[in-house]
Structure formats: structure tokens, C-alpha cells
Amino acid sequence: MNDDERKPARFALNSKQWTAIILVIVALVFILQNLTYVRVEFFFIHTAAPLWLVLLVTLAAGYAIGWFSKRRG
């Protein structure tokens, strides 16, 4: 075995992955700074929930919309 075969593989991230990581960190900081309870109204449902949870659900919904609306081809 030569030296190249003994070295562990290096894990490298591309610019898209770095951008995604940074956006997730920014989103988490924003969520964690908004911990108060807010009134949530959706059609006929009225409830109170922590703002971080409302923001997390909104973020997840946006991610799902983006994922499903990708062009495949």
C-alpha cells in the first residue's frame, strides 16, 4: 500500500451545500430568538402556539413546496 491508499477520504462540500448549511443556521437562530406564543388562525381553527413552532412549520412547508416543484427532466 502506498501513502495515498492509507489516507482517509476527505469530505468536501460544494457551494450549494455550504449555502444550504448557512441558511439552515440562520433559520434556526431566527426561530430560537422568537420563543413567545402567538395566536394562529387557519381557516376555522384558532389556537395559540410558540412562534418558533409556527416558523418551523412554515419553513418545512416552504421546503416541501420547493422540493415538489423542482423540474425533473
3-class DSSP assignment, residue 53? helix
Cell of 14: 460544494
For residue 25, the model assigns a pLDDT of 94
pLDDT tens-digit readout, 13-49: 888 989 999 999 997 888 788 889 999 998 999 999 9
pLDDT tops 80 at residue 5: no
For residue 11, the model assigns a pLDDT of 77
For residue 8, the model assigns a pLDDT of 66
Element housing 48 (H / E): strand 45-50
Is the CB of residue 38 less than 8 Å from the CB of residue 51?
Answer: yes
Give the closest residue to 35 by CA, choosing from 56, 62, 61.
56
Is the CB of residue 44 less than 8 Å from the CB of residue 57?
Answer: no
pLDDT tops 90 at residue 71: no
For residue 60, the model assigns a pLDDT of 92
